[in-house]
Structure formats: structure tokens, C-alpha cells
Structure 1
Amino acid sequence: MQPPVEPGWRVIRRNGAVTPFDPVKITVALTKAFLAVEGSTAAGSRRVHDIVAELTEQVVTVLTRRIGEGRTFHIEDVQDQVELALMRGEHHRVARAYVLYREDRARERAAAKADSIETAAPKLNVRAEDGTLSPLDQARLAAVVSEACEGLEAVSADAILTETQRNLYDGVSLDELSLAPILAARTLIEQEPNYAFVSARLLLDRLRREALTLVSGRAEQATQGEMSGRYATYFADFVKTGIDAGLIDPELDRFDLARLGAALKPERDLNFQYLGLQTLYDRYFLHTGAKRFELPQAFFMRVAMGLAIREIDREARAIEFYDLLSSFDFMASTPTLFNSGTTRPQLSSCFLTTIGDDLEAIFKGVKDNALLAKYSGGLGNDWTPVRGLGAHIKGTNGESQGVVPFLKVANDTAIAVNQGGKRKGAVCAYLETWHIDIEEFLDLRKNTGDDRRRTHDMNTANWVPDLFMQRVEEDGEWTLFSPDETPCLHDLTGNSFRKAYEGYEAWAAAGKLKVFRKVRALDLWRKMLTMLFETGHPWITFKDPCNIRSPQGHVGVVHSSNLCTEITLNTSKDEVAVCNLGSVNLLNHVTEQGLDLDRLAKTVGTAMRMLDNVIDINFYTIPEARASNLKHRPVGLGLMGFQDVIQKLRIPYSSDEAVKFADQSMEAISYHAISASVDLAAERGRYASFDGSLWSKGILPIDSIALLEQARPGVEMDTSSTLDWEALRSRVRTIGMRNSNTMAIAPTATISNICGVSQSIEPAYQNLFVKSNMSGDFTVVNAQLVRDLKARDLWDEVMVSDLKYFDGSIGAVDRIPDDLKALYATAFEIDVAWLVEAASRRQKWIDQAQSLNLYIANPSGKKLDELYRLAWRKGLKTTYYLRSRSATHVEKSTLKGTDGKLNAVSATVAAVPIEIDPNAAWGKACTIDDPDCEACQ
């Protein structure tokens, strides 16, 4: 049976002719290849018939998944995929015969071409959207490709043009014509990273035609050079088009558009790499009728105008904000980029809620989830108050089914509300470790068991009190309770929690509680880590550090973190916590000598103003979120590009120098973020709940470590500093703070792509890999590594092949010097203890938390136990994903044609069985899927 093929799919022949795509021809070619090797007996062999059918299906699946907008592909692409399918299927003799056959036919064609009298290239026509044909403008095509290569080293316009011509045919559509050079340049990224810039610039040409045509109402296109005189006039048309389409806030038309248009910097369009621009094109730029009408600099100015809409001199502030965004010095979070300046400006990233213990409260919580997720919010739910399995229900005189059935409802709601198709809806459920349902909670992500008690799409996290960790360390007993019988525990922390918990244990022993169960703390801890490794969930987060070091402990309790574990804000039945995120691009603030503190101070000052503006401008979907955000005004300034920075400074991640830089860079960001909030307080007033906060007592994040040490002696946190904190401390006490919270390090999974830097504080996953996100699969190469290898005359085809073979690692490549191996060690080659130590140094400066992924190449029960105890002892507030070595790595045959929407093989963290240390009674476990989280940023 042949795989289904939709009508209209076509193949470009070598002579430029276009014919319908027929999978039967693939079957025939494969059968001939087997006949050539196995003889005539293969023709009637059921085995060969089944193999050929399976291989044909594989080839068709890959080709149709990769098909371009014009629904065409070249005959050479088909044959490449046949060859790859044979190799993947380990039919090596047949593959060799097929390769030799292709080479013979290529020689015959070359000879025939040399003997041919007619050597002129076929004349090609381009089909416009109205169906009319016009001759292909070869000169413009060459000019656009040449312009895209200007100023970039080691790229070839001729190579791109040759590959582009191969994929054109008579009657090619305008969209196919614009796509062909992009695809041609993209195939070369693995050999030279600068082709990522070339591909982006070629995509810009396509975008310009789309946008200019739509806003002007007539067919129009422009080169990058021509845009220097066109951008300003286009900008006013863009705003009008957006308002007419109901997408842009009409208030933006009241700005001085001529002044703002003149402030646009067209040359900054050239700073994009392909992954970043394609992501913006697919999901961020405004569009109508599937046509984008927003160009990159208009996009940044639209966001800036939205954030400046309530400023007094809003044009000046809009230009200031625009300059920061378009330079990539700072990037606002995805919801802000999506919605700023639009008719529904929901700009906040994260929402945290507490779910009440009755049906009305539970389903209000689910409804709130839907409303908050609708406009791109990531959710964290505290489910601890919901009574456990077997607890008495007074209204019906029955027994509760526990928290799990309601989590299933929340899971399905998150899937149903997918943020308008822009990105997946996402929620994380938190449960405290003493809850009677904790063991069922640990099983939520398993693939076995009653599916009605599984949440395959929801993230989950343990909210772990220090007392539990202490019981684990002393191998003590742990008692599980139902919260309806132990209501105090939810709101208590530190020593107060300890006293109440021990009191409830005494009540249980005296028979005063109906629902409780005693377990060995170490057994529960082991199960927590086993499930974390098997399913990737629940994550490990620590309740007491989040609360004891919280500036806002005087007005509430932190009951959970958010979707990505970096937000630690108070929640209650009356308050839904909201946080507004953005990240400093650290790479732009570092020279060969180190941090550029003046530039960093300027960036942080402007960024904090932008984040504070979000609070007042924001479109709130529920009143509890509005009330909470206006009262406390928390923001979360983070960073990205850390790995790029230390590689630029020639510092290996596994070193004391890297830990020291993590400390000093975060100290600088913290100092300037707090100082900027004080400046805003002087201008606009302190936040409403300032009095009684740690800030009001002059206790800054670095000072709050002492509070944690009082509650939990033995915390292993460094407390050294280098800046003048006493002067700032005095300003905080006397002037106040504009924001209750100022810092949080988010994953930056998407905005780091936009800026072309490494994600957040992450070590490099691989030096050559294929990144997957909602825009497709993209070849990513470590450009700094390539530059270093070129400098030592080591970058060649063999090195590219070695990087593929060793899955993006250079550790096993003999000819690479040891200093480069240390500098460019990938995440699984770095001892995870270095990640924890660097995170601990950052955590001392941060008033919230950080999204910290932990990587282990060869996990065991003992290693996981040591790792998470270390994280707790080092004072970390939260951890995020546990990632272990992948089974599906970089495609070893070729990366050509594998990125963008033309998807093939990606490098992910895939699920494969791995044995855990049997002596620790861990049994079997599996690695997790690469989450590629885009929920926060």
C-alpha cells in the first residue's frame, strides 16, 4: 500500500520541467536497487516487497513533511532521501549500488550536456498571485543574493544562486521564488555559521514584498538598500493598516509617527540570524489574511509605543525603548512582544494562583486558568489546599476523590486553550510534600495506569519544606496529612511550620486525625527522584528558601512557583500573582576586558522602566490579578547569553572563574535593578505594600541569606560582595522601592533565539545540532567555536563530519587542542556541581528565583540523590528540568534540508531505557523529552 499523497505535489526535473509526484516511482527505484544486489529472486520476495514498501513510506513521509509552500521538490531531493532511507535501514550494499548508479547517470548527463549544441539555460517565467506570467528577473535575484552576502566573511553568492536555480521551474510562483534562495543558503549553515545571517536577509526580502504590498495596496518590493528611504513612510502606513484591521490600538495613531518613523534604524534588520527572524515571521509579526504587514523595526517600535503609551513625553520614551529592543541589548518577554500596542495588551508572562478547597473554588481556578492562558500567560497553580483522597465531605457526607481528578480537568483545559495557536497553553501544578495525595501526584506523568488519573501534558512540581529534607537526611519518618484537617501547614514556613507539623503528628498519634499515613522520608524522596527521572516530573522546588528570603513575607505566603520555576510571589484566594519578565542580553554588555558596567547600568535602568510600565498598561483578564499586580508591582529582570559571554572571555564553564563571573555579573544586574526601582519610586511613588517588607528594613537579597541560615543552620552560600551596597541599602530604606520584586531568571527559550544568543544561563547543549520549536527545525552551529577552529586551521568538511558523528561534542575529536575542548564542553560534559555552584552564587543576589536545568550524562540513583541534596544545601530556591543524555542525536548523514519548516531529524533529549544503580533500589528509568519551553519567554 502506497502512502497517501495529496493532489498538486510536484517534482522539478533536472531540465526544469515539472511533473506530478508519484510515489510508485520511488518503489520502482528501490526495487531495482535490490534487484541489482540480490538478483532476480528479489523480485518475488515477500521480504524485499515489505522492505521496499516501508522504505517508500519513510521517504514520502520525509518529503511531504519538508514540502515548501509551492508543494514542489527537486528530483535530487527525492534521490537523496532514498539514499538516506537505505542507509538508515542498514541496507548498505543496496545503498552503495544506488549511489554508484546515481554517479554513473550523473556522468552520462554531463557528457550529454557537453556534446549538446543547445546549452542556453531555459527561460523561466514567474507566476504572480493573479496568475499572470512574467519573465524571471535574473538580475534582481542575483542582486538580492549578493546584497544578503555583503559584509559577511566566508559566504558565496554564487553557491546560493546555483542551488537556487536548481529549484526553479517555468511558472514558479512568487512565494516559491522568494523561498528558493532562503532554502539554498540555509543548507550551508552547518559549514559556515554566517549563512544564518544570509538566510535571514533573504527572508527579509520576502517579508518586505509581503508587507509593502499589503500596506501600500499595490505590488511592491524593495532591497535592503532601498529601505533606508522607505522605512519611515512605510511606518505610518503600517500603523494605519493595523488600526483598520482591528489589530493595533488606535491610540498609537496619536503619536508623532513622522518622528518615530525617522528614528527607525533599517540597518538593524541585518542583525538577525535565520532562526530568530523566522520565529518572528511565523508567530510575532502582525498579519491579516495570512500576509505579514509588520517589518522588524516597525515591530520593535510598535512594542515600544505600547510600553510608552502612558509616558508624559511618550515619543522620546518610545524611541528610548525602541533603541534598547532593536539593539538586542534587552528583550521583553513573549507576551509583551505579542501584544504591546495592540487592542488587547496582555503583556504579563506568569500567573500564580492558589486553588480553594470546594467545587466552586476549584472550577473558578480552572476557569481562571483558561482566561489567563488565552492571551499567552504561563500558569502555576498551588493545589495543596484541596483535601486528599478519603477525606470527609460534609456537604454530601461522602469521601473525597482527592486532588488528582481535578488536575486532569486542569490538564485538559490547558490543551484546549492554546493561545490562539501562537504557542501551546501550559500550566504547572504544585503540591506540598506532606499532602496525603503526594504519591499519586508523583505518578501523574506516567504512561501506565488509569489514564483518568494521568496528566500527560501538565507540568508538575514538588513544593518541598525544609523539614522534609531534614527528615531525609536523618532517615526519619514522614507523615502525610489531608489539608482540611491540617489547615495551618499551608501558610507556615520555617520553624513555625516545624512546630505545627510536629503538633499534627502528635494529634495523629493520639487518634485526633482521620486521614493520615506514615512513610519513611527516604523512601518518599527516592520515589520523587525516580519519577523525576522516569517522567521528567515533578520538579524539585523548595518552599522555605522561597518564603524566608521573600521581601513580601509580611503580607502573604509564596505557595508555589510558576510554569518555569523562576517566579516566587504570594498567592491566596484573593490574590493571583502576576509577573512581568524581560532579559538583558549579557553578550552585548561584555568586552574582551569584561563587563561594560556603564552600558549595563543604562540598559537595566531603561528595562526596569519598561517592565514597570507593563503593570499599568496591562490588560487583566481576572480582577484578582489586577488587584495583586497594582498593589505589589513585581517584575522579573533576568539575563541570557551567559554561555556566549564566558566563551568570549575564554572561561570554561567548569571553573572557579566561571562561578566568579556568574557571581559578579549577577551582582551588577542586581545592584542596578534595585537602584532603578528606587529611582522609579522617587519619581512615581513606592509600591503600596512596601511598609513592613524586607526592603523597608534595609534587608536586601544578599542580606536575607542570614535569615535562611537562622531557620536552617548549615546553608552553604557565599556572601561576599564587591559593590557599594551600604549606600544603596540606605536609599532603599529612605526612598523606598517601586517594585516588590525585581529579578528572576527565566528560560528565554524564544527571545534568546530572536537575539541570536545562548539561552538564559544554560551551558551549550551541543555545538552543532538541529533545534526544534513551533517554527520548525533549524541548524544551529556554535559560531565562536567555528571562529576558533578556523584560526587554528581546523575547520573543514572532516570537522563538520566529526561534529555530527560525536553529536555536537568536540571532546572525542583528537586533533582539537585541550584548551578548546575545555572551553567548548557541552552540557553533559560539565560536572553538574558547577551548574549548582554558579546558580547558588546568582541566587544570593536575586529576590525571586531562576530556571535552572540540571544535566547528567550517566544518571544513577546515588548521583540524583547527591545532586538535589546539594541544590538544597546551596540555598537554591527551585530547580527546573532534569536532562539526561539523548538517544536521538544530530543526523549523521547530512543536515542539508533539515531545518526551517522543512523538517527532518532533530536533536532532542529522547526517551530511552537506562539502568539506574540497582543497589539503590531504583530499578528502571528513562530520560525525558526535550521540553523546549517557550511558556515564559
Structure 2
Amino acid sequence: MAASATHDFGTLPPPASIHSSTSATPDFQVIGRSGSLSGFDPSRISIAITKAFLAVEGNAASESRRIHEAVDGLTRQIVETLTRRAGVARAIHIEDIQDQVELALMRSGEHKIARAYVLYRAERMQERRKREEVGAAPAQPRLNVKLQDGRTEPLDEAALRQVVATACDGLDGVSVDAVMAEVHRNLYDGILLHELGLAQTMAARALVEQEPNYAYVSARLLLNGLRDEALGFVLPEVVSGSQRQIDLRYDEYFPEYIKLAIKLEILDKELGAFDLVRLAAALKPERDRNFQFLGLQTLYDRYFLHRDRIRFELPQAFFMRVAMGLAVREIDRDARAIEFYELLSSFDFMCSTPTLFNAGTLRPQLSSCFLTTIPDDLDGIFKSIKDNALLSKYAGGLGNDWSAVRGLGAHIRGTNGESQGLVPFLKVANDTAIAVNQGGKRKGAVCGYLETWHIDIEEFLDLRKNTGDDRRRTHDMNTANWVPDLFLERVEADGTWTLFSPDETPDLHDLYGTAFAERYEHYEAKAQRGEMRVTKTLRAVELWRRMLTMIFETGHPWITFKDPCNLRSPQQHVGVVHSSNLCTEITLNTSGKEIAVCNLGSVNLANHVTPAGIDEARLKKTVTTAMRMLDNVIDINFYTVPEARQSNLRHRPVGLGIMGYQDALYTLRIPFASVDAVRFADTSMELVSFHAISASVSLAAERGRYPSFEGSLWSQGVLPVDSIELLQNARKHELHMTRSTTLDWTGLREQVKTTGMRNSNTLAIAPTATISNICGVTQSIEPTYQNLFVKSNMSGDFTVVNSSLVHDLKQAGLWDEVMVSDLKYFDGALGAIDRVPDALKRLYATSFEIEPTWLIQAAAQRQKWIDQAQSLNLYLAQPSGKKLDALYREAWHAGLKTTYYLRSRSATHVEKSTMTRTDGKLNAVSMDASGAKVCAIDDPTCEACQ
């Protein structure tokens, strides 16, 4: 092709340029806007950046040494990035080069320069469009497409446009022309057919920051490629090698897909016994169009069934497959499968990731979380580590209680030696979690828990540090403090605290409340008399400060509270809660004979709220069906270790949670930081709790009570809201938690006592890091992280824009290129943008703009209804020792059972990106001022509970 005469990198008026020493790179080529090719000359990048500085700072900039150095440094960064991204293709589009110039200016903090660059690029784009309208646009070169059989044929522009138009149909704010213009930038002569589909998907994806609805366009275009891939595998006779779109008929595809998956020994042959024709007729293909790109890409990468990396499972077939897997033991299993499918495909409710991965397969390990207690002997320790591997293999998240294992310096009778303590064994557990990565679907993940009185607590606090002896560090394993009330009472009284080895204080592990305090004081007295072999006494407040320092510096160990977890546990008559799980929302008993198992799923609260309030009828229907699905998991489940099976069948716990909480607040126009939001947290969770307990009672009437029901708090008519008094009676301070109710709890209390419960536990709010992406809603009970950012997970990096905010800014006439640029610069926050009304700033305040006390107040109101716990992240923009101390004491005073990550605003923040025409390959985990990781967007370990 002829070289382009129009690929100017500079978009500002040309003053005298500053010389750059960067020479041309002839082995790379630039794709011009017309599709023509020319040599890549880095010196033009230097000229473009120089022009940007001169346009803002005037001609004096040409004499500035700072500008010279900045231009040279930025140019080198841009060239390195471009050549790395070009890879083997050795070709770079002109717009990509300009994107990287803009990105480099943003990253370097030159906001005024970058803003001028953005505005002038927009002006030039408008000028080009005007020229095109009057016929001045250069003629597009004729391109050919290489088909799957190796033949080539001319690019079918009409078919291409029709595919894009179909994807845009029914969506406000999107433009077929805009997508087509982006598509043409990525075309070349001889492009492969599948690359043509990818070019369409990426074209729409590049426009998401301008209009969030392009996320739907991109998903629909991705679906076209998935459809061709799946049909080519299942029904190869219907797939042609042309550029024309193939019509998808689920009624033909679905039965053949099930039969093929059974033949390939991926799905259980029992699924072939369903009425496949009836189920196929119940599928709703139009729901394929409800995905956003992040959700569908996540499903494609990690959830859909595949063979030899060919995905042959389509979205509605996926939901029906999961529904069938959960209905396989129902009496009328076809009807139940359709009922379950309706709930999943509508996004009203979503099962956890292990259920979505494994339902209907030959090994249906459907449970989310496993909690174990590690015994104090070598055989038991290594059996527990083996159990970790087996449980993790099929996508289970792990919580290990290490408090019973003797500490450093403790006597070992078998060898007459001294123990090396916990750390060497924790290191093995850490490496095991990394080794077993769940078949590449996601990282294995485990959290170790330790009680605050354990002699190894100080070394435990240091496990995640980046300094010190690496043999005594666990860089990949999460850790959490299991804190008794007595310790915090000593902190507040500035008293002493004594550490013990559990081989000398074996009963402390199983005690809580007043009984723990009395026995602990007994051992303290023994230590003072010199009757204990391994002890250490220190100021409680010093240990507390060190705990807070470590959670700030390393993010670990998390702070969780032993006594409220046990005093409010419905199952305290048959055991002790020794820890929580990987994400701090599960609080179930563990012992040497029982591994606790929990089965999770989440109600999409956003789908159950209208501007008028909560749709209570819809919520009741969703919760009732969801509880049945979760209860079915227990009986269908594939158990890798017998202790998990025994525990799950005996107690039958489930953990129904919520997601889309922030979206619901947007719909109701309630700011997160408000009394109304706290009130909504209370009333919404009361409804979920009421209907979940009611559903479990109904299941008990149909299927029988869970075996360990007698003697439980349920059997005594003590519901979660009633158990607050048990905690209050053990506390010396007044709990910051109201007791008000609005529903008929008296009537339900009586039903629970007389009919019983099917499930020992019903509610737990998980982080929903992945399943909320699938449904296209905000995570769990989280506030919005940023209104515009790049989200990273195992499927890649994705532009995320707050569509509710964009709608409101459009209504106010404020959504433009400058607003996009400002949001990037201010890390997705509105607070510093003067032209945004205060009402919108309050409604769309991001996580670090909200005082964390609001999160605790809302969590406290939810906790009164929840028989387990909730994954509660806390956000502090500028942490200090004083703030951390006040925050975690408030969480304790509020009666919370657990807290999760402390997220602090990093010194460098998430990288600023143009996010225009890029794949967003940015770093989503940044570093705080101490150099510690700050889980800012999407911690992969959270996904083990999703």
C-alpha cells in the first residue's frame, strides 16, 4: 500500500518544534485512518507532545529544560508501550498512538496538557466528519476476508453493517456509524474471519467511556463469535464459511448440546433424562442481549463448557444446565428446572461460582466455602493441608482455624524437643493453595485464622510483610485475627494481655463469652505464679496498635470478632465457631470431626427495587425459590472429604446474600452516606431475612427438619433479631444496633418452633466479586469504587462506567469529553469537579468520599437480621492510627461479627487511562504509601466465595 500523507501525531497548532533524538523505527508500520500503511517515526511523537506543551504554556516552554526532559521521557515510555503492544503484528494504528500520548500525559500528572490534547482531538475528529459529509473523505481501500477454509472473498460491507446495527438495536445513545468507524480502523487486507468478529467487539468496547450502553453492544457482538464457535462444534452442518450472520435456534441446538456434553463425559447422563424439548422451548434467547461485555466475557473465559478450548455452551443453555443440575433430584424436575432457569437468566438471583462451574457435571462440587480446624499433631496438620488441596481442587474457598496448634517453644513429648510454632506449617498451606489453582479457572485461596491470645500471634501478624525472612512469610495466603471481647475490653481499659500456647490452655479454644473470660483469667493467674511453660505478657493496647499497623501496611490480618459469632450462633448447642471463611461472611462450627460447608448465592437487589421502593412480592418469590436451590445443593453436592459431607448433611447451612445494593440506592435516589441509606439497609435485610426463614420453614414442612435442629436457638424460638440480647448480656457497653421490626415476627417465630427449619443457617452476604459482574450490577453491599475506571480480573481489563451517573449528567447537559477527562484525572470521583451539582456529588460519592462510619452503621442494621455474617470492606482515604483505632472499635461496639479488607487510597492510585481504543492493560492493584498492596478493585481471592 502507498504511504499515508496524513498521519500527523500532533493535533495542536504547530509552533517551532523541539528537537528529539529519537530516531525512526522502520520495522514497525503505522495504519492510517484510511487503512494505508507508513513507517513508524517516533520523532513525530516528540513533536506532538511538544506542541501540546507549547499550546498551553506558550513559547517559553521551548526554552525550558523541564519540558525537554519531560518530552524525551514521555516519548520513550510511549514508544516502549506501543512496540510491546504491537507484538508480532508490527503494526500500530494512528489513533492508538494518539491514545498513548494522551495516556502518558495523564499518568505524568500533566492534566492541563492532556485536557487540551483531548479537546483538540475531538475538534479534529469533528472536522474530519464534516469533510466526509461533503465527500472529501479519502476512498476506503478494497479489503478481502480470509474464510475458515482458506478462501478469500471481498469484505461484505452490507453484512458487516447489519451485524453492528442489530447489536445496537434498542439501545439509547449508541451509533452504528461510530462503531463502524472504529471497526474500519482495525481492518486490513486478508483479515481472518474470526478477527473480523473480534474487530467489531473491540470497536464497540472502545466507545464504552463515551456511552455505557456500548458495553451491551460489545457483548452482543461477542455473542456472535461465541454463537459461531458453539454451533460449529455442536451443529457443524448449519455453520457456513460466509460473513453472513447465522440464525440461532436454541430449540435445535439445546438438545444436541446436552447429548454431546454427555457423550464427551462432561455432563452427568442424568441430564439426558430431562424433557429436553420442553426445556429448550422454555429458553429465552432474547435474554442473551441483557449481558454487558464484562459479564459475557467472564462467562466465556471461565464458565462455559469447552473441549480443546472450543466453547460450545451458549448463555441460555448455560443457565438451563445449572438449573437442571440443581433440579436433578426434584420430583417434577422439568418444572423445577424451568423455575430455576427463570431466576438465573433474569439475573434476579445468581448462584455462587462453584455451583455455576460444576452443576450438572460428573463431579458437582457446588459448595462455596469450607471451614476447618487444624489439630495439634503432625498427622492431623498434614491431613488438613491435604484436605485443603482436595477442597480447593473443585473451586472451594478455605478458612483454616490454627488456634489449637501449639506455639513456638512449646514442649513436644514425642521428641522431647521444642515446637517451631505455626509459621512453617502456614508456609506449606500457603504453597498448597498456589499449587492447586482449580484447573486454571481461578486461583486457589485460603485464609488462616488465629486467636489473639496465641503465643505466635506476633509472628502471625508479620506473615504478609515484604521484609524479613521469606521462609517465615506467606505472601499469598490471607490471614485474620479471631478476637475475643475480653481483649478489646483490656484495650479500652489499657490493661495487660497474656499470650499462651494452646497445649497448656487447651480449653480456651472452645470457650467464649463469660466462660472464656473466667478461664483466661485463671490461666493468667497461673502464669503469674510461674506455673506455665510458654507465656508472654504485654500491654493490650500495644498489641492492638500492632494489629492495626499490620492491617494498614499489608492489608492483613483482618479483624474478626469471636464472641458475637458464637453468642449469636443458632448452633451453639452442638459446637463452636472457631473461625470464619475466606471472605469473612461464614460463621459455622468446626471440629476435628466436622468441616463446615456453606452453599452461597445472592439476590440481585437492584432487580427488586423501583423508584417507588422495594417490590416485595417479587423479592419474596425470588428468595423462596433461591432457598430451595441452595438447599438442593446440599444433597446433590460432590464431597471430596467425608468430614465435609457429614457436617453439611447434619446441619444443612446455606448463605443467601445480596448484591446490587448501591444500584438499588441509585434507583431510590438515596446517597450512601445518609440516614435513609442506613434505614434502607435495615428494611431491605429484614425482608430478605423474613422470607428466607419462611422458606426454610416451608422446606422443613415438605422435606423435614435438619437433623441437629433440637436444642438450637431456632427450636427455642430465638431468631437472629432476638439473639442480639444474648450478645448484649455479655457486653459491658450498649450495642450500637437498633431492635426495631416491621414484619410479623411473632407469627414466624411460632412457625419456626412448631414446624422447624430445614437449614441451620440461612443468610450470609458474600463479596460477589464475579457473579455481580455477570449480572452487570455493583458488588455485594459495596459503595461504588469509582465512577470511571479500569477493572482487572482473570478475564482481562475492562472499562467500567457508572451508567446511572452518565444518565444524570446527560440530563443536566454535563456529559462531554471534558467531563470524561476530569473523571479520569480525579480517579472517578465528582467531589473536585465544580460544575457538578452538589446533589449529584452526594448521590454518586465514591467509596473513599464516604465516611466509613456510614458503612458500619448500615452493616450493623443488616447484622441484626443475619444468622451468619457479611463481607464488609472498610475504606479510609487517609488512614492514621487514630482513625483506624476509632473505626475498628466502632465496628466492635456496633456488634459486627467480622470485617474484611481495609482499603486505603494509594499514593499512586490506579493508573489513569484514556480507555479510548485500548484494551485497558493497566495495573489494577496499586501500592499504598508503605509499599503494601491495596486491593482497590477486584481481589482475585474474593472470587472463591462467589
Q: Is the structural similarity TM-score above 0.5?
A: yes
Question: Residue 833 and residue 33 in structure 1: after superposition, are their counterparts in 2 closer, same or farther (change >3 A)?
Answer: closer
- Give the aligned partner of residue 380 of structure 1: 399
- Give the aligned partner of residue 884 of structure 1: 904
The 5-angstrom pairing of residues 282-321 of structure 1 reads: 282-321=301-340
Question: Residue 453 and residue 74 in structure 1: after superposition, are their counterparts in 2 closer, same or farther (change >3 A)?
Answer: same
The 5-angstrom pairing of residues 227-626 of structure 1 reads: 230-626=249-645
The alpha carbon displacement at 1:223 in A equals 13
Paired with 1:349 and 1:381, the residues of 2 have a C-alpha distance of 14
- Give the aligned partner of residue 854 of structure 1: 874
Paired with 2:29 and 2:574, the residues of 1 have a C-alpha distance of 65
Question: Residue 395 and residue 149 in structure 1: after superposition, are their counterparts in 2 closer, same or farther (change >3 A)?
Answer: same
Q: Deviations over 1:792-841 (max 9, x none)?
A: 22222222222222211111222222211111111111111111011000
Paired with 1:615 and 1:420, the residues of 2 have a C-alpha distance of 23
Whether the aligned pair in 2 keeps the contact of 1:33 and 1:97 (CA below 8 Å) is no
Question: Residue 221 and residue 552 in structure 1: after superposition, are their counterparts in 2 closer, same or farther (change >3 A)?
Answer: farther
Question: Residue 215 and residue 477 in structure 1: after superposition, are their counterparts in 2 closer, same or farther (change >3 A)?
Answer: same
Question: Residue 11 and residue 499 in structure 1: after superposition, are their counterparts in 2 closer, same or farther (change >3 A)?
Answer: same
- Give the aligned partner of residue 152 of structure 2: 133
Which of 756, 767, 771 does residue 751 from structure 1 map onto? 771
- Partner amino acid, structure 2, of 1:304: A
Paired with 2:111 and 2:697, the residues of 1 have a C-alpha distance of 68
- Give the aligned partner of residue 920 of structure 2: 903
- Partner amino acid, structure 2, of 1:911: D
Aligned with 1:518: secondary structure? Answer: strand
Paired with 1:753 and 1:644, the residues of 2 have a C-alpha distance of 13
Whether the aligned pair in 1 keeps the contact of 2:350 and 2:603 (CA below 8 Å) is yes
Q: Deviations over 1:476-510 (max 9, x none)?
A: 01000000000000000101101110111111112
Aligned with 1:519: secondary structure? Answer: strand
Q: Deviations over 1:364-406 (max 9, x none)?
A: 1111111111111110000011100000111111111100111
Deviates more, 1:218-227 or 1:462-471: 218-227
Paired with 1:220 and 1:685, the residues of 2 have a C-alpha distance of 51
Question: Residue 137 and residue 429 in structure 1: after superposition, are their counterparts in 2 closer, same or farther (change >3 A)?
Answer: same
Paired with 1:192 and 1:718, the residues of 2 have a C-alpha distance of 42
- Give the aligned partner of residue 220 of structure 2: 201
- Partner amino acid, structure 2, of 1:936: C
The alpha carbon displacement at 1:421 in A equals 0.9
Aligned with 1:561: secondary structure? Answer: coil
Which of 825, 829, 835 does residue 855 from structure 2 map onto? 835
Which of 796, 821, 825 does residue 845 from structure 2 map onto? 825
- Give the aligned partner of residue 934 of structure 1: 943
Deviates more, 1:540-549 or 1:888-897: 888-897
Whether the aligned pair in 2 keeps the contact of 1:145 and 1:161 (CA below 8 Å) is yes
Q: Deviations over 1:191-243 (max 9, x none)?
A: 11111111111111111111111111246279999988711111112112222
Paired with 2:147 and 2:897, the residues of 1 have a C-alpha distance of 58
- Give the aligned partner of residue 721 of structure 1: 741
Whether the aligned pair in 2 keeps the contact of 1:766 and 1:807 (CA below 8 Å) is yes
Paired with 1:192 and 1:208, the residues of 2 have a C-alpha distance of 26
Paired with 1:863 and 1:349, the residues of 2 have a C-alpha distance of 34
- Give the aligned partner of residue 921 of structure 1: none
Whether the aligned pair in 2 keeps the contact of 1:485 and 1:513 (CA below 8 Å) is yes
Question: Residue 677 and residue 162 in structure 1: after superposition, are their counterparts in 2 closer, same or farther (change >3 A)?
Answer: same
Aligned with 1:342: secondary structure? Answer: coil
Whether the aligned pair in 1 keeps the contact of 2:925 and 2:935 (CA below 8 Å) is no
The alpha carbon displacement at 1:578 in A equals 0.4
The alpha carbon displacement at 1:61 in A equals 3.9
- Partner amino acid, structure 2, of 1:750: T
Whether the aligned pair in 2 keeps the contact of 1:209 and 1:221 (CA below 8 Å) is no
Paired with 2:873 and 2:712, the residues of 1 have a C-alpha distance of 31
Question: Residue 135 and residue 383 in structure 1: after superposition, are their counterparts in 2 closer, same or farther (change >3 A)?
Answer: same
Aligned with 1:636: secondary structure? Answer: strand
Paired with 1:418 and 1:637, the residues of 2 have a C-alpha distance of 26
The answer on 1:775 being equivalent to 2:799 is no
Deviates more, 1:819-828 or 1:578-587: 819-828
Paired with 1:709 and 1:426, the residues of 2 have a C-alpha distance of 35
Deviates more, 1:310-319 or 1:234-243: 234-243
Question: Residue 864 and residue 175 in structure 1: after superposition, are their counterparts in 2 closer, same or farther (change >3 A)?
Answer: same
Question: Residue 72 and residue 934 in structure 1: after superposition, are their counterparts in 2 closer, same or farther (change >3 A)?
Answer: farther
Question: Residue 936 and residue 11 in structure 1: after superposition, are their counterparts in 2 closer, same or farther (change >3 A)?
Answer: farther
Deviates more, 1:516-525 or 1:159-168: 159-168
The answer on 1:76 being equivalent to 2:95 is yes
- Give the aligned partner of residue 16 of structure 2: none
Whether the aligned pair in 2 keeps the contact of 1:33 and 1:94 (CA below 8 Å) is no
- Give the aligned partner of residue 59 of structure 2: none
Structure 1 vs Structure 2 CA RMSD: 3.4
Paired with 1:580 and 1:710, the residues of 2 have a C-alpha distance of 31
Question: Residue 627 and residue 442 in structure 1: after superposition, are their counterparts in 2 closer, same or farther (change >3 A)?
Answer: same
Paired with 2:104 and 2:813, the residues of 1 have a C-alpha distance of 34
The 5-angstrom pairing of residues 566-715 of structure 1 reads: 566-714=585-733, 715=735
Aligned with 1:479: secondary structure? Answer: strand
The alpha carbon displacement at 1:74 in A equals 2.4
The answer on 1:809 being equivalent to 2:815 is no
Whether the aligned pair in 2 keeps the contact of 1:883 and 1:909 (CA below 8 Å) is no
Question: Residue 397 and residue 890 in structure 1: after superposition, are their counterparts in 2 closer, same or farther (change >3 A)?
Answer: closer
Paired with 2:86 and 2:537, the residues of 1 have a C-alpha distance of 55
Q: Deviations over 1:628-651 (max 9, x none)?
A: 101110000000111111121111
Give TM-score scaled by structure 1 length: 0.91
- Partner amino acid, structure 2, of 1:762: E
- Partner amino acid, structure 2, of 1:413: T
Aligned with 1:146: secondary structure? Answer: helix
Whether the aligned pair in 2 keeps the contact of 1:769 and 1:906 (CA below 8 Å) is no
The alpha carbon displacement at 1:931 in A equals 5.1
Deviates more, 1:348-357 or 1:507-516: 507-516
Aligned with 2:573: secondary structure? Answer: helix
Q: Deviations over 1:718-767 (max 9, x none)?
A: 11100000111111111111000000000001111111111100111111
Paired with 2:761 and 2:119, the residues of 1 have a C-alpha distance of 66
Aligned with 1:935: secondary structure? Answer: helix
The alpha carbon displacement at 1:904 in A equals 2.9
Whether the aligned pair in 2 keeps the contact of 1:545 and 1:708 (CA below 8 Å) is yes
Paired with 1:870 and 1:118, the residues of 2 have a C-alpha distance of 65
Paired with 1:245 and 1:18, the residues of 2 have a C-alpha distance of 47
Question: Number of residues paired by the alignment?
Answer: 910
The alpha carbon displacement at 1:89 in A equals 5.5
Unaligned runs of 5+ in 2: 1-21, 55-61
The alpha carbon displacement at 1:180 in A equals 0.9
The alpha carbon displacement at 1:245 in A equals 2.4
Whether the aligned pair in 2 keeps the contact of 1:558 and 1:569 (CA below 8 Å) is yes
- Give the aligned partner of residue 215 of structure 1: 234
Question: Residue 398 and residue 67 in structure 1: after superposition, are their counterparts in 2 closer, same or farther (change >3 A)?
Answer: same
Paired with 2:859 and 2:111, the residues of 1 have a C-alpha distance of 48
Paired with 2:293 and 2:648, the residues of 1 have a C-alpha distance of 36
Paired with 1:499 and 1:595, the residues of 2 have a C-alpha distance of 47
Q: Percent identity?
A: 68
Deviates more, 1:504-513 or 1:849-858: 504-513
- Give the aligned partner of residue 800 of structure 1: 820
- Give the aligned partner of residue 176 of structure 2: 157
Give TM-score scaled by structure 2 length: 0.90
